[in-house]
Structure 1
Amino acid sequence: MQLKSKITSIILCFILAITAAAQEEKNRAFWVHEDQVKPSMMMEYEKASKDLVSACKDNNVKDIQWSVASMDDGTYLSITPIENLSDIQDMDFNDLKEKVGEESFNKMFENFNKCYDNHGDYVTILVPSLSYMPDGLTTNTPGQDYRVWHRMDVSPANMQKLQAKMKELKSLFASKKSKMHYRIYKSGFGNVGDYYVAVISAKDAMDYDTKSVENDKLLGEEGQKLFSDMFNYVDAYSVKRGGMRPDLSYSAVNEIANTSKE
């Protein structure tokens, strides 16, 4: 009976391990609304954004949430986790509109519209199998709201080759116990062209730059060669800096646990 109990426990642990691994490897989707704000209108845009957040909080608006990241070039990303595309349709401001009235509601969004000429929506996918976060994959990095985005555009013909190199890079980071953790996102629905983005969190610009220098030394020539091999499959590469903006983000009280932090 004791042996049977031990076997049952072993099987249960095995099943739990498989389940945990499966959950860890599951890709996560995020709906992103991108506003390309004019340099002269950034202060106006942030005021409009804060007014919207205040209105949502004051009226306890349900069924909608977003986290905001701002980039140094005036790009603002409003990010919401989704399970599928139908979630996007279900997330709207009807609750707010009913509570504040149509005139006040329209005025709020008119204040946004004058701040940019270009904006749009798309889906991005967080890829655990390519991400390196040995302490656990999460977009929530307390005390590290600074962000650096490394974007790599790739042709369809080279996607598999680039993925293979990115997996090698993750293995190298892990073997060296690198402290430079990163999350990998790939382009999803609504994007034209294929690309990957490596997102790195830090306390501030100095913290990021210090980690970057230390990481280069840690990886050494092996890392240099692997990066060089990887970039053979990259059509275009760009880097943007910025950070998360909790002051421009909103989540209903019952949805705080699900709010994105990227």
Structure 2
Amino acid sequence: MKNIKTTLLFGALLLTANLNLQAQNQTFSIHADYVKPSMESDYVAVAKDFVAECKKHNLQNTGWTTMRLDNGTYMYFESIPNMAALDVDAFAPLADKMGKENFQALFDRFNKCYDRHGNYLLTRIESLTYMPEGALAAQEGQNYRKYHYLYVTPSTAKMVGEKMKAIKELYTKKGSKEYYRVYHSDFGTINEYFLVAISAKDEQSYAKQSAENETLIGAEGKKLLDDLFKNIARYEPVSGYIQPDLNYIAKK
């Protein structure tokens, strides 16, 4: 099992290294809770209580951005400096301060709200990301997210990455105002994919921004996008909103 884990991790690191040799990629730890529709109000209540406890006890060395997808899934994004960070229990100090029984009681409330949840990693690929003003995941006033999942195979991933580079070059040349971040699936994911994340104020603003960009990039852009989609195995669009009241940033 250890050898398999090492091989998979090496493969993921090799691909992201090949995609970006000049800039430093950022890896994110993702936790996803697939919340039962009937339990969503209870889930939000305990999530708010958990953030309140983190703030009360000034929990350090962790912090996250929370996203609710339209299907009711809640996702927590936390940047990590390296794989070794996964071996650290960032919540242990909180359990000590709250008392282990109170801490466990919070998570017992969480556990009633979903039948499955899990963790995995995503890596932001800077060479494919188009963010002229900086690749911040949380942009003030732009809490809407449109996620484009572009599924690939081991034999097509490199080629798709190259086609995405060509699209970024066109956006740069045209001075597009539709900024986006590109992530690649990493350790803990079964299917391989690129994830394109676009921020906007709301769904209507996204639609307007997308239409304006389509006009800007014209026939040249349409050809590049058509070529890209001919080489992906599956496409899945997903939308949602950042939940600011469920975010946590540690105070220094």
1:206 maps to what in 2? 204
2:29 maps to what in 1? 31
Q: How many residues align?
A: 233
2:236 to 226, 235, 238: 238
Larger Rg: 1
How many Å separate the matches in 2 of 1:24 and 1:136? 16
How many Å separate the matches in 1 of 2:116 and 2:132? 38
1:58 maps to what in 2? 56
How many Å separate the matches in 2 of 1:80 and 1:204? 23
Q: Tell me how far 1:63 sits from its aligned partner.
A: 2.3
How many Å separate the matches in 1 of 2:199 and 2:89? 28
What SS does the corresponding residue of 2:156 show, helix, strand or coil? Answer: helix
Structure 2: runs of 5+ lacking an equivalent? 1-19
**1:64/1:91 contact within 8 Å kept:** no
Write 1 or 2 for the structure with the bigger share of helix: 1
Amino acid aligned to 2:104: N
How many Å separate the matches in 2 of 1:140 and 1:72? 18
Q: Tell me how far 1:64 sits from its aligned partner.
A: 2.2
1:134 maps to what in 2? 132
What SS does the corresponding residue of 1:128 show, helix, strand or coil? Answer: coil
Q: Does the alignment pair 1:79 with 2:62?
A: no
How many Å separate the matches in 2 of 1:45 and 1:89? 27
How many Å separate the matches in 2 of 1:106 and 1:36? 20
How many Å separate the matches in 2 of 1:53 and 1:24? 37
1:92 to 90, 96, 107: 90
1:152 maps to what in 2? 150
How many Å separate the matches in 1 of 2:251 and 2:237? 35
How many Å separate the matches in 2 of 1:173 and 1:39? 39
Q: TM-score, length-normalised on structure 1? A: 0.85
Cα 1:231–1:148 shift into 2, 3 Å = same
With 39-48 and 122-131 compared, the bigger mean Cα shift is at 39-48
How many Å separate the matches in 2 of 1:137 and 1:105? 34
Q: Tell me how far 1:140 sits from its aligned partner.
A: 3.2
**1:36/1:75 contact within 8 Å kept:** yes
How many Å separate the matches in 2 of 1:28 and 1:234? 24
Q: Tell me how far 1:251 sits from its aligned partner.
A: 2.0
Amino acid aligned to 1:141: Q
How many Å separate the matches in 1 of 2:168 and 2:177? 12
Q: Tell me how far 1:24 sits from its aligned partner.
A: 7.3
Q: CA RMSD in A?
A: 1.5
What SS does the corresponding residue of 2:33 show, helix, strand or coil? Answer: strand
With 51-60 and 88-97 compared, the bigger mean Cα shift is at 88-97
2:117 maps to what in 1? 119
**1:63/1:91 contact within 8 Å kept:** no
**Percent identity among equivalent residues?**
39
With 55-64 and 151-160 compared, the bigger mean Cα shift is at 55-64
